[in-house]
Structure formats: C-alpha cells, structure tokens
Structure 1
Amino acid sequence: MRFISGALERLRSAIPDLSRPKRIEEALDQLHQRNEALENKIDALLRNGTATLGAASLGAKYAKNVVNNEGRIRVAFLIHNFEAWWSLRSVYFRMLTDDSFDPIVFSLPRKFPGSVDFIDEDKVHERLAAEGVHSIRLNDSDPFRDLDRLRSFEFDAIFRQSQWAPDIPPAFDSLNLSFAHQYYVPYEVTTISDHGLDFVSTYHHQLCARVFVASELSKSIAESKDIYRGARMTVSGHPKVPEIIRASPSWPIDTGNATRVIWSAHHAIDTGWNNYGVFPLVFEELLKLATRRTDIDVLFSPHPALLTRIQEMTGSERADYDAFFENWEALPNTAVLEDGRYLGPFQASDLLIIDGLSFLTEYQLNEKPVIHLSRPDRSEPNRFGELVFAGTHELPVARVCDLENMIDGILSGEIEQKLDAQRRLKALLTEKSDPAGEIINALKADLRPASSK
C-alpha cells in the first residue's frame, strides 16, 4: 500500500500547477490521510493473523504462496454451503497430496431462499475447521474487497459450489471470477427432473471450462438444454458417490432403539419450481408418529433453505412451526440434523422418508429402502429420475396417514424392498471408480504446460 503515498508525492512534484487550486490540494491531503488510515488498518490485521486468515502460520503460508507457488496449479474452493461440501471434499484432499496443486479453501456467507441478509459464514468456517480444513474467511462488509483479496492469489482454477447466483454475494458472480478458469462439480449427484436442469442453462455453467457430470446418461439428458451441446461436459463420475458408500456409520440419537429412520424435507414447499416439498402437509403427522412410536428413532434432516424460509415466516404459520420444533426436540427418540454431516447417519439408518430431491438418489447407493412422499403437482422425472423412482416406495401425500404401516411393512419384509432397481442405479453411478482422480487429471490436462506433465 505504501506505493500509493509515493505515487501521490510524485504526482505533486511532477505537476506543480496542482498546488495552485486550493481545493485540489486539500483533496490530495484528504486522500493521503485516508490512505495512511487504511495502511494502519491493514498493518493491524497483519499483526493479528486470526482476523482474516485464521492461524498466523496459515497467513504466513499464504503470504508466501501469493508470490511463489513453485509452478503448481493454484485452485480456489469457494464454500458457502457446507452441507454440500461432500461433492468437493475428496477433490480438495487429493489435491493436498499432489505436488501439482496448491488448493486453498475460502468460506463465504450465503443467502438461501427466505433469508434477507447474507449470513452463516462463521458456521461454514467452523464446520470446515471441524473437518480439518483451514479456510480463509471472506466476510468483509464490502464483498468486492474480498474479491480483490481473492484475485491477489492469481488462481488458475476456481470451484464454486452452485449455479445459483443469488445464494452468494454478487462480488462472486461468475463474470467477476473470470480471471481464472472456472470448473463445476454439481452439488447433487445428478438431476432427476427437467426442472433441475437449470444448471446447464445458467451463466455460471456457460462460463465454466468444464462441468463434471456423473454418467453418460446424465450428460445425454443435460445436452438438450446446453448451448454447447455437451462440449464442455466431462463424464467423471460424481465424487460424492464413493464418499456415501464408504462412510463410517454414526447416529446422534442415543436411545438404543434397533430401528433408525431419517426424514428429509426439501424447501420447494410452494408452487412454481419443482413442487417436491411437502413439509407443511406432513409435519404434524410425523410428529404424531414419532411420539407414538418410541421404539423408532427419527432423525429430521431439513434442507438448510427450508430452515431459512421458516425463520422468515410470521404469524400463525411461524408459530405452528416453532411449536413443532420445540415438541420434536423434546422427544427422546428424535433429533434435527443441521450441521450437514449426513453420510454417517445414512450408513447407520434403516430407512429414508423423503419428498425430494438429492437424497432420493444418494440414499439408494447403500441399498436401503426409500419412502417417497409425493405431491400430485410435482414436476415429472426425466430419464434418470425414472431410474431413481423405480427404487423407491411412493406414498402420495394425501395418504400420509398410511406412513406407519408402510414403514412396518418394509422393515418386516412384508413389503418387498426394491433392491434390483437400486442396484441398477448404483451400477450406473459407480461406472467411474475414481471421480476425484478423473477431475484432477482433467485439470492437469487443461492447466499444466505439456513440458511439465
């Protein structure tokens, strides 16, 4: 920053006529004073390494690496949605052990549907830290200053977590990130409805060097809405698939019950998008079931955007939901999963109850039964969605009172589990055995000079 002061002094001496108009002289003095104040603030931040970069050693590392990264491919991971971290986690950790890469993670605030402000950067940062990931915190009151900080690293590649521009500060819009090659791994394993194909027609997708997809069928479906007709899509497999299959079981409810159920609820509870969410139509019935069946653990896993939508509600509707959560959390056999760590509960549970969307596919990778609570106005599945739904037990929301009987029937074996359909789905999604390796090799092919490969 000292160069700004020097430039001002050189400007004064080089153009002496500027000393004549007093207003210009005063303006230059004010700018000089503001520059000194800014330098003092930056010096204070650098003295206190935890203010922005976390540990002092981490700050020292990054300060050095901004100048010289020894020819490695420098990659930024912009993380605002910890719940979807599992789509990129193995890519990041593999890069850490590969001398070709210099991966750096940044935590961002987010604004999911229902939120008024950008929030939760602190939670993202803390949850990443719990996973052993040190993130640089981009939480400035002026996000464009954070963008300047990001640019200072001279990245070769950037991974952003989703195509939904309103979810993150405008400073990190795809156009503003075009100083580096942008890559995209979808946060969901694959889209199951044509309404989920927005990702191939957004500006973010169109500016990406590559979009990595789970299978040839995923690519074939998406090509119809892609202006490049699939030319920038790479079939890598999805990195989340092996994460789900290999996860260690964990369960947050300590009752000793033999039966464990996950209930997942999407945020699309109104009309106009994919119309999969049924939470307002079923939450009372699920509370009654959990209260009545103390022999069954029920872990509620709401979409994070469902929670933000509820938090912004008012009146009797908000009061009803507040009462639900209070009563739910008071039961000994229930809990709410809010930290995004769902892979362990997937392994430890026996059955999933869900309206949509991503878990419909993901839970079947462990070959366990899925009850799909469906709305009559939901969007129609695409070809991949048909494969997904073939492995589920559909229960129209109008018949939610039959849920308990369906659970008992499936777990007792009276209702046959749809294992054949689930195994076909799993086989399709595991054709690529090492998705993270496929993605890393693609970046090497794109970004490393041929002489250094």
Structure 2
Amino acid sequence: MRSFIRRFGELEREVAAVRGSVGDLHHAVSEVRGSVEGLIQQHSAALEARLDAGIRRVNDSANYAARRAPLTRRRIRVLFLVHHIEAWDSSDALVRALREEADFEVVVASIPRRFRGMAELGQEEAVHAGLEERGVAHIRITLADDRDRLSLVRAVDPDIIFRQSQWDADVPEAFSTENLRFARLCLVPYETINIVQNMPMDGVTNSAVDTEFHRAAWMVFCASELNRQVAERDGMRGGAQFVVTGHPKADHLRSVEPRWPIVHEGRRPRARVVWSAHHTILDDWTNFGVFHLVADDMLEWARSAPDVDFVFMQHPALPPVLNDPASPLTPDQAAEFRAAWDALPNTAVLAGGDYGPVLAASDLMIVDGLSMLVEYQFMGKPLIHIERPGHRPFNEIGEIVMRGAHTVPGVASARRLAEDFFDGAPDPLEQVQRETITRLFGDEPSVSRIVAALRDALVSELAR
C-alpha cells in the first residue's frame, strides 16, 4: 500500500511536469503565433504602403503626362467646382466674363461640402439653390461614390480646374489635390487677402500660400504684390505660381448697390448695424470667434435699442462648429439664442446670400474676424472689432488692415463707441481705410487681368 501511494505521488508529479511542459508549449506557440501575425501585419502594411506608393507614382505619371499634353481644342474648357456658395462673389464675375470669351468654354458644378462639425458630406442642395438664384448655369455632382464623382469630372475633360479653396478636407476625396492634378489647377482665394499668421500644419508653415493645393497649382491669383511677396518667402515654389491681378470680390464690393433686409413702414431706423461672427470659437485654429462670449450681450443691445436695426451675419462654418463636441455653446443654446433674436422686430439673419448689398446699406459693423475686417473697409464706414484674447497674431498685411478698425474688448465698449457714430461723430479712420484698400487692392479691375493672365499662359504653352 505504501509503495502504491508513493508511486501515485510520483505519477502526480510526472503529470504536473507534463502539464507544465504543455503549458510552456502553449505559451511558446502563442509567442510564435504572435510573432508570425506581427510579421504578417508588418509585411502587409509594408506591402500596402508599397502598393499605395506605386499607385501614386503611376497616377502622378499619368497626371503629369495629361497635364503636359498639348492643347488641341479650339476652346479651352474651364471647370469651376463650387462648394462654398457664400464665397461665390470671388468667382462670379470671372465665370461670367469667361463665358463671353470665344476661346473659353466654362462648366460650373455644384458639389457637396463638409465643414468642421458636419458628420458627413452634404449641402450640395444649398449650393445648387444659390447658383440657381444667381442665374448661374451649372451641372450638379450628386453622386455618392468618389470614383463616380471623379469619373464624371474626367468625362467633362477640363483643361483648367478652379477650386474655391486650398482645403482638401472641405470637399469630397474625388476633388482632392491629388485627384485633380491631371488638369491645370487654379485658385482665386475665397478670402480677399489673408491677414493672420495661420496655424502651422504637417509640412506647411503658412497654409495661406503653401498647402498641397498651392504647390500643385498652375496659377494662384492674388490681390497685391504684398501677397506675392509672402508666397515668395513662405512657399516651397517661391511664389512662382502666384500672379498679381487684384481680387474679383474687391471689384464687387466697390460697385454693389445697397439693399437692407429689414423694412419698417414709414420710417428709417436711427442706425443699421451688421454684426459679423466668425466660426473660430474653439481653441485650436485662429481663435478669433467670440460668438459664444457676446451673443447674450448683442441680444440685449438689440432688445434695448428698438430704433436700431441689427443684421446678424454668421460665417457659414459657424453653425456646424456649434455641433462639435468641443463647442463652448451647445446646439440647444444656439437655437435658444436664434429664437430670441428672430422674435425681435429690429433684427434679421443673413445666411447664404450675397452680403455685399447689406454691407453697402449699413452704417456700422461689429466684427470679430476675419474676412470682414478687410471687406467692410471698402464701405468707408466705422468698423468695430471685438478682440478675443489669445487669437493668432496678425501678419504684416493684417497689421496694415487693423489700422482701419476700432478694437475694443467687449460689447459694452463697442456700444459706447457705436453710439457716438450714431449721433453723427465722424470716423477718424475713414481716410486710413481708403488708403489701405488702395494699397492692398489697387484701382484696376481684376477680372480682365485674370482672363489676360490665363490667355497669356496658354499661349506660352502652345509656343513651347
């Protein structure tokens, strides 16, 4: 019996040893499996990267060949991709002028967009409606698949493509810089002129002049020699693709007829105020937006001054930003503000339309940034800038622009200053504004210069 117990103990130890060995084997197998899977993933990733690089090289070669192919058509086909209907004034006169030229054929296309805070691409319907309202003949690109979108653009077979901005993230992947390189890429900036030191991005120190789109562009049309000098200094291509022509929006603002959206039977208000709100209310871009800080105070001002009209002009990217989880205002709070604002008899909201007539009909602007700090100075009227602490610094052009604006810290001080102007006080900065606009935009109309630059560049290509 004792020998049996002893033998049983030995067997138990042997089984335990075997189990340990089996466990060691399982562990070893798991390690081997993990290593193999890791190697497979590494090789798969490397293979995928090599494949992507190969595809890109083939695309680059094909695009380069297409781009360098001689022009054989009697009429140069120009495609305008439109996603930012609110900035159409930067393109409208150019499109109309090119359609009058016998050697150009123009196609305008409405496309979807995606501003920050939008969950997905959309709003092509709004772009389409805006073009229709302005009487601009166009096609609609409503296809859902990027391959189909790009195929349609290739079927249009443009020699030149104008996109409204350098930001690839705002448009479908089909219309990214990489996918459009087969044509001569052109840009009339949606903004008249950049006035801030933009946030650095990966491989880009100045996104106003040197994004991937700028680098791939055939021509970028800029407002002034100051613009071109910035591109020469900060751009990878030394500004070689930048052409000084003035800006179509400047031409528009100089000639626009006034029209005010609020009508009072039998009387004119004591004053007409435009309140412009930028979309940068978060803390990760240029940080000029103060809508979240001043909305209640502006509402109270409008309530307590029924003899003054207020038009709220929000940047088109502001509403979607309010849906961003990082927004300092919730969508419900924004909706509550809007309902209270809309309920007043002396207020209105301008969204999506041509804002030039409203600027021309107004007496004064309250603004945080950015484009309106420039554009309102075409009106030669008081411009009051509510400054947000910690915003991105102005660049050298911005320093010139800000000489024409009255900078204040909040609504209370803006209101005190505005009341002086309402009572007839002259604006001491009016002459400064005139000098700034002349210095930055010149006096010549821009569209004829852009058309001439296009034609000259095409003639040079044909002569090669």
TM-score tier (shorter): 0.7 to 0.9
Alignment of 1:71-150 (within 5 A): 71-150=74-153
Give the C-alpha shift of residue 448 in structure 1. Answer: 4.1
Task: Tell whether 2:397 aligns with 1:421.
Answer: no
Is 1:374 the counterpart of 2:387? The answer is yes
Question: What is the aligned partner in structure 2 of residue 206 from structure 1?
Answer: 215
State how far apart, in whole Å, the 1-side matches of 2:214 and 2:79 are.
Answer: 17
Q: CA deviation at 1:421?
A: 1.3
Task: Confirm or deny: 8 A CA contact 1:221 1:383 kept in the other structure.
Answer: no
Q: Which residue of 2 aligns with 1:182?
A: 185
5+ residue gaps, structure 2: 1-71, 200-205
C-alpha deviation, 1:265, in angstroms? 0.5
Whole-Å separation in 1 of the counterparts to 2:239 and 2:312? 37
2:302 aligned with 1:304: no
Match for residue 358 of structure 2?
Answer: 345
Q: Tell me which of 251, 261, 264 is aligned to 1:252.
A: 261
Superposition CA RMSD, Å = 2.0
Are positions 1:440 and 2:456 aligned together?
Answer: no
Deviation at 1:79, TM superposition (A): 0.2
Distance (Å, rounded) in 2 between the aligned partners of 1:143 and 1:451: 33
Structure exhibiting the larger radius of gyration computed from Cα positions: 2
The residue type paired with residue 137 of structure 2 is H
SS of equivalent to 1:182: strand
Paired residues, number: 383
Instruction: Give the TM-score of the pair, scaled to structure 1.
Output: 0.81
In structure 1, the residue matched to 2:234 is 225
For structure 1, the 5+ residue unaligned runs are 1-68
Deviation at 1:251, TM superposition (A): 1.3
**Mapped contact 2:108–2:139 kept (Cα < 8 A):** yes
Alignment match, 1:172: 175
2:155 corresponds to: 152
Tell me the residue number matched to 2:336. Answer: 323
1:450 offset after TM fit, Å? 7.7
Shift of 1:403: 2.3
Would the alpha carbon gap of residues 276 and 312 (structure 1) be closer, same or farther in structure 2, given more than 3 Å must change?
closer
Q: Write the distance in 2 (CA, Å) between the matches of 1:365 and 1:346.
A: 9
Deviations 1:47-74 (A, max 9, x none): xxxxxxxxxxxxxxxxxxxxxx961111
2:47 — aligned with what?
A: none
- Map 1:333-412 → 2, pairs under 5 A: 333-397=346-410, 400-412=411-423
Alignment deviations for residues 126-167 of structure 1 (CA, whole Å, 9 cap, x no partner): 110111112211111113212111111221100000011111
Separation (CA, whole Å) in 1 of partners of 2:139 and 2:214: 25
- CA distance in structure 2 between the aligned counterparts of 1:316 and 1:428, rounded to whole angstroms: 39
Q: Distance in 2 between matches of 1:421 and 1:161?
A: 30
Q: Which of 262, 284, 293 is matched with 1:272 structurally?
A: 284
For 1:170 and 1:450, locate their aligned partners in 2 and report how far apart those are by CA, in whole Å: 29
Q: CA deviation at 1:212?
A: 0.9
Q: Secondary structure at the match of 1:227?
A: coil
Amino acid at match of 1:208: A
Provide the residue aligned with 1:286 in structure 2: 298
The runs of 4+ residues in structure 1 deviating greater than 3 Å are: 311-316, 413-417, 448-452
* CA distance, structure 1, for counterparts of residue 316 and residue 87 of structure 2: 10
Q: 1:225 to 1:70 in 2, by over 3 A?
A: closer
Identity score, percent: 37
* More divergent stretch after superposition (146-155 vs 355-364): 146-155
